Amino acid sequence: MRQAIAWPLAAAVSAATVAGQLVVGQSAGLTTFGSDFTAGAERTFDAHITLMQWMFLVGPPVAAAALARWWPGDRWLAALPGAAGAAAVIPLLWWYAGPSLDGFAADRALLGLASGTVAVFVLAGSGRVLAAIAAHAAVVWLVSLALRPSGNTVLYAGMGQVVGVEALDSLRPGLRSLPYVGRDDYHLAGMLPVIVAVLVLSVVMAAVAARSVLEGFTAGLAGPFFAALTYAAPASPDHSGWNAVADRTVTALAVCCAVLALLTAVVAVRWREARRPRTPDGSSLPIPGAAG
């Protein structure tokens, strides 16, 4: 009976997650699905293709994380209804995509929801790690939405960039002097708010989930890793334009998050071990509420 209720609920949560991203992105002007991508807009054409995949990827993990209490030891059960719920939103993506992008919509949506389903199966042992993927997507969206009134904001898979903010543009000369940045300084300056937010989130999630070093490390890395994974299938043969810059940035950010998550997890585990109550003979007692 419990699963009979939970399965359609997981599908509904996943569908709402994906549909919500599409509707909010279009309504807030963060995405321009349906445009003709001319007169300069072609620079974000590839970015929208990859973004489709990322939007559908986060649906199943969000459903599994939201309903983790229903399946305390079997969170993987949310994977298939989560995928089904995300798949139900493909017609909405077609409607938004328009003639320029509708040829990519189904393939990218299916690739994204397949990746999200695999993520649930692989990471089902920890509700905190699944929640980290959801938190990463939420942070990218919230920071991008917060930046929208400040200038033109472009949303990528796992990244947001605001264009035309003087305070950020003033950092470009310094960024240009850094190794491997070069002409990417134009994009990197506008991406800094999201980059900083993701780095902070990585540390927080690693600390919160660090029942073990592996779990803390995985929680701190999961969101950035799956965002970077969406760029593994290039949107076009030459893989150029703004999406290529986002690819390099999101991949480098995932590497930085991996280092920070590992260091944070090690420190957090040692700190918790030092504070763990002990028996008179010196052996550790389990920490109450440490499960799941």
Per-residue pLDDT tens for 123-167?
Answer: 876 778 888 999 999 999 999 999 888 778 889 999 999 987 888
**CA 147 – CA 29 distance, rounded (Å):** 12
Could you give the residue ranges of the DSSP H alpha helices within the chain?
Answer: 2-28, 45-57, 59-66, 79-87, 90-123, 127-147, 166-169, 172-176, 185-208, 213-229, 242-275
For residue 237, pLDDT over 90 is answered with no
The answer to whether residue 282 sits within a structural domain is: no
Provide the whole-model pTM: 0.88
User: Residue holding tokens 């950020």?
Assistant: 168
**CA 243 – CA 238 distance, rounded (Å):** 11
Mean pLDDT for the stretch of residues 264-285: 76
For residue 5, pLDDT over 90 is answered with no
Task: Tell me what pLDDT residue 231 has.
Answer: 93
For residue 89, pLDDT over 80 is answered with yes
**CA 253 – CA 228 distance, rounded (Å):** 9
Those residues whose C-beta lies under 8 Å from the C-beta of residue 240, and which sit 6 or more positions away, are 46
pLDDT band with cut points at 50, 70 and 90 for residue 41: low
What is the pLDDT of the chain when averaged over all its residues?
A: 85
Mean pLDDT for the stretch of residues 41-55: 86
Q: Enter the tokens of residue 187.
A: 């994009």
Facing residues of 193 across strands? none
The answer to whether residue 253 sits within a structural domain is: yes
The answer to whether residue 280 sits within a structural domain is: no
For the ranges 65-74, 97-106, 138-147, the lowest mean pLDDT is seen at 65-74
> Cα dihedral angle (45, 48, 50, 55), rounded to 10 degrees?
180
The answer to whether residue 289 sits within a structural domain is: no
For residue 38, pLDDT over 70 is answered with no
Mean pLDDT for the stretch of residues 21-33: 91
pLDDT band with cut points at 50, 70 and 90 for residue 69: low
**CA 217 – CA 121 distance, rounded (Å):** 18
Task: Tell me what pLDDT residue 282 has.
Answer: 57
**CA 158 – CA 247 distance, rounded (Å):** 9
Report how many domains make up the chain.
Answer: 1
Those residues whose C-beta lies under 8 Å from the C-beta of residue 201, and which sit 6 or more positions away, are 132, 135, 136, 139, 223
Whole-number Cα distances in Å, 112 to 36, 132, 226, 229, 283 = 24, 17, 10, 10, 46
For the ranges 46-55, 128-137, 159-168, 276-285, the lowest mean pLDDT is seen at 276-285
Query: Is residue 156 within a helix (H) or strand (E), and if so which, with residue range?
Result: strand 152-156
The answer to whether residue 193 sits within a structural domain is: yes
Task: Tell me what pLDDT residue 251 has.
Answer: 94
Domain range enclosing 103: 2-274
The answer to whether residue 78 sits within a structural domain is: yes
A 10 A CB-CB count for 106 gives 16
**CA 194 – CA 143 distance, rounded (Å):** 6
The answer to whether residue 287 sits within a structural domain is: no
The answer to whether residue 50 sits within a structural domain is: yes
Task: Tell me what pLDDT residue 278 has.
Answer: 62
- Residue % of the chain over a pLDDT of 70: 85
Mean pLDDT for the stretch of residues 224-246: 82
